[in-house]
Amino acid sequence: MDSVILDTVLTLSGLGAGAAIILFFVAQKFKVVEDPRIDEVEEALPAANCGGCGFAGCRNFAEACVKAKDFEGLYCPVGGNETMAEVAKILGRDAVEQDPRVAVLRCNGGCESRPKTNIYNGAATCKIASALYGGDTDCQYGCLGFGDCVEVCDFDALKMDPLTGLPVVNDSNCTACGACVKECPKDLFELRKRAKKDRKIYVACRNEDKGGIAKKSCSVACIGCNKCYNVCPHDAITMNNYLAFIDADKCKLCRKCVPECPTNSILEIGFPPRKDRSAETDNDKNEVTSGEKEININNNKEV
């Protein structure tokens, strides 16, 4: 009996040792040697794992940077130019630079501007609501207001405004990771070039209906009147499907288009208040009138 147990133990031990030896040689044969620079690049990244670079996480982005011949199509929006310069230094390549970006919401149709025409009774997510119907107003292009974008923002750059029912972007926290752009089913978010003092001018509307229909559904909708397009001296505005669009890369922030918009769908943010031109005109008229009186008085004295 003891000999049977001993033989069994020895046999199993031998099989185990043989299998271990085989596995060892197979592992050595097919092992993948990882470039140590991947770890260095990953350490230089912000570890946000937001997917803004187009990869699943910072590790995947680091692997892509090491394997690629150049940085074409590779950029970390969270770390920005400083991080990419560090990555380039590790890999011995030329640094890639891009203009910093910030997210903007291309919808200004709050509760007062875009009255509700029906009541939605379903799952409180933009994605589901958008799949079921156009929205609880007559504008099928506007924000649904359930805050899916706020949920996916990892940098506390978005919050819902209880008065307007729209998300608000905090420019100082926004890293242009693009999570809100991907999440919004209405395609309302856009990453625009960040200008000095966070100044920006853009059309806060995506309504492609004709002017009368768009204005009826939302008082601040773009009606495709072409007035902004006609006054832009930099060819930064294009018209398509009754909707104006301002190219942030071409726009020089001259603000000429803003007062031309009859519905106030063009927003200017970060600028000082405009001067009251009507008050200046009245002052000029008063100065002219007083000057005429002085001349008349002098003429009368001479007579």
DSSP letter for each residue of 143-178: ---S-HHHHH-TTS-EEE-TTT-SEEE-TTT-----
Q: What is the dihedral of CA 72, 94, 249, 268, to 10 degrees?
A: 120
Sequence length of the chain is: 303
Instruction: Give the residue-averaged pLDDT of 224-228.
Output: 96
Least confident of 89-93, 179-183, 213-217, 291-295: 291-295
> How many CB atoms are closer than 10 A to CB 150?
16
Average pLDDT score, the chain: 87
Which pLDDT belongs to residue 293?
44
φ, ψ for residue 241, nearest 5 deg: 55, 50
Using pLDDT thresholds of 50, 70 and 90, give the confidence band for residue 16: confident
**pLDDT of 283 strictly over 80:** no
The class level of CATH for 37-91 reads mainly alpha
Residue 94 near residue 88 (C-beta atoms within 8 A): yes
Residues forming CATH 1.10.15.40 domain(s) in the chain: 37-91
Q: Is the pTM of this model over 0.85?
A: no
Among residues 144, 220, 216, the alpha carbon closest in space to that of 187 is found at 144
Provide CATH code, domain 101-269. Answer: 3.30.70.20
Local structure of 295: helix, strand or coil = helix
Least reliable range by pLDDT among 165-169, 239-243, 286-290: 286-290
Beta bridge partners of 103: 191
On whether the CB atoms of residues 164 and 186 are closer than 8 A, the answer is: no
Say how far apart CA 22 and CA 30 lie, in whole Å. 12
d(CA 53, CA 43): 16
Hey, what's the torsion of the CAs at 79, 81, 87, 89, to 10 degrees? -150
Task: Report the C-alpha gap between 181 and 105 in whole angstroms.
Answer: 9
Cα 167 to Cα 160: distance, rounded to the nearest angstrom: 4
Banded pLDDT at 292 (limits 50, 70, 90): very low
Placement of tokens 């799952």 in the chain: 123
Q: pLDDT tens across 72-86, in order?
A: 889 999 999 999 999
Contacts of 247 (CB under 8 A, 6+ apart): 236, 237, 238
Average pLDDT over residues 137-156: 95
Confidence of residue 278 (pLDDT cuts 50, 70, 90): low
For residue 301, pLDDT over 50 is answered with: no
Q: Is 288 helix (H, G, I), strand (E, B) or coil?
A: helix
What is d(CA 137, CA 120) in angstroms, rounded to the nearest whole number? 10
- Tell me if residue 240 falls in helix, strand or coil: strand
Q: Is 43 in contact with 89 (CB distance < 8 Å)?
A: no
Stretch(es) of the chain classified as CATH 3.30.70.20? 101-269
pLDDT at residue 97, as a whole number? 87
- Other C-beta atoms within 10 Å of 131: how many? 10
Beta strands in the chain (DSSP E): 101-105, 158-160, 167-169, 189-193, 200-203, 237-240, 243-246, 266-269
Cα dihedral 213/216/219/222 (nearest 10): 0
Angle at 36 between CA 31 and CA 37, to 5 degrees: 135
Q: How far apart are CA 82 and CA 29, in angstroms?
A: 40
